[in-house]
Amino acid sequence: MSLSVHDLHVNLGNKEVLKGIDFSVSSGERVVVVGPNGCGKSTLLRTISGIIKPEAGVVKLDDASLSSLPRRTRARKLGFLGQSDVAPMMTTVREHVGIGRHPHRRLFRQNMIEDEQAISDAIQLCEVDHLIDRPVERLSGGERQRVRIATLLAQAPSMMLLDEPFTGLDIEHQYALLHLLSQMHQQGRLVMVVLHDLSIAMRFFDRVLVIHEGRLVADGPPHSVMTSDLLEKVFRIKATIGHDLDSDQPLVVCHGQISRAQEPMSAGI
């Protein structure tokens, strides 16, 4: 399975947020999208998911334009975990996760055995089994985030887009989620994540897309993309890419911020 984005332009209000994005990824890859605040990462994911209509350009899933697919078919292929956290009223964790099965249901064919199986698998994988009868609105931020991830898993799309999925998660569950995402990847799903932690982005993903001011400014394997030069120009930090002594895993070590006065004249890379 492959996802390709051609010449994507998106305006929000009067602002041009994405200015011509081109790339294609296939299910063999674990893709991470990084970039400073307001660069258009979330807008990119939301446009690919069909939430925002692009001004120009197309998103294709295996050669078919995503907007031409019927809604439910698209929802079975592509799932999205957004940043906005809306807790429904008086809904238990089980019911919340069950909502993820919506694209698989029919008017007179409601919860089937395979739905129940998908729901309990998702609940178990996200370690929320002890919470299933609790109302979602009364959970902690991190628990609620795990419930939302479980809902995405229950949806069982072949491609998952996650926008800052670590929000609210403690370090144990951050690593549990990374493990879960590599499991999904091993099952042949396409996983694409927006992250702010550059060290994690370098360690756990095969391919990094760097977005800066609405443009894709770098695309490739982490070690070749993430350089001190790029960190300086895009993220405005003085940093070196070091390595952990024991495991040789890459680490981004930040030494400080670049003041606005020292701003390089051209942002082009």
Partner 1 sequence: MSTSLSVTTRLSIQRGGRKWTRVILGSLIVSILVVIGVIASLAFGAVDIPIREVLDVITGSGTKVHRQIIFEARLPRAIAAVMVGCNLAVSGTLLQAVTRNPLADPGLIGVTAGAALAATIVLAVLPGYALLLPVFAFVGAMISAVVVYTVSWRPGAGSSPMRMILAGVAVNAILGAFIGLLMVAFADRIPAMMFWTSGSFNGRGWSHVEMLWPYTLAGLLMAFWLRSRLAVMELGDDSAVTMGVPVETTRLLAFAAAALLAGSAASVAGLVGFIGLVVPHLIRLLLGGNYGLIPVAAIAGGALLLWSDLVARLALAPAEMPVGVVTGLIGGPYFIYLLYRARWLR
How far is Cα 139 from Cα 265, in angstroms, rounded to an integer? 48
Is residue 132 a contact point for partner 1 (CB under 8 A)?
yes
Q: Which residues contact 159 (CB under 8 A, 6 or more apart)?
A: 1, 3, 27, 61, 77, 78, 79, 189, 190, 191, 192
| Selected binder of partner 1 within 67, 117, 140, 187 (CB under 8 A) | 117
User: Shortest distance, CB of residue 37 to partner 1, whole angstroms?
Assistant: 19
Question: Could you give the 3-state DSSP secondary structure of residue 171?
Answer: helix
| Selected binder of partner 1 within 151, 180, 192, 239 (CB under 8 A) | 151
Q: At what angle do helices 113-125 and 141-155 cross, to 10 degrees?
A: 140
Task: For 184, list phi and psi in degrees, rounded to 5.
Answer: -60, -40
User: Shortest distance, CB of residue 220 to partner 1, whole angstroms?
Assistant: 28
Stretch that binds partner 1, among 15-23, 129-137, 206-214, 260-268 (CB under 8 A): 129-137
Q: What stretches of the chain show up as alpha helix (H) in DSSP?
A: 41-48, 71-77, 93-99, 113-125, 141-155, 171-186, 198-204, 222-225, 228-235
Stretch that binds partner 1, among 15-23, 123-131, 197-205, 224-232 (CB under 8 A): 123-131
Is residue 96 a contact point for partner 1 (CB under 8 A)?
yes
Contact status, residue 226 vs residue 244, Cβ threshold 8 Å: no
Q: Segment 55-94, which members bind partner 1 (CB under 8 A)? A: 71-76, 78-80, 82, 84, 86, 88-92, 94
Strands 207-212 and 30-34: parallel
| Selected binder of partner 1 within 16, 55, 95, 213 (CB under 8 A) | 95
Binding footprint of partner 1 on the chain (CB under 8 A)? 46, 49-51, 71-76, 78-80, 82, 84, 86, 88-92, 94-96, 99-100, 102-103, 105, 107, 110-111, 113, 116-117, 119-121, 123-124, 129, 132-133, 135, 138, 151, 155
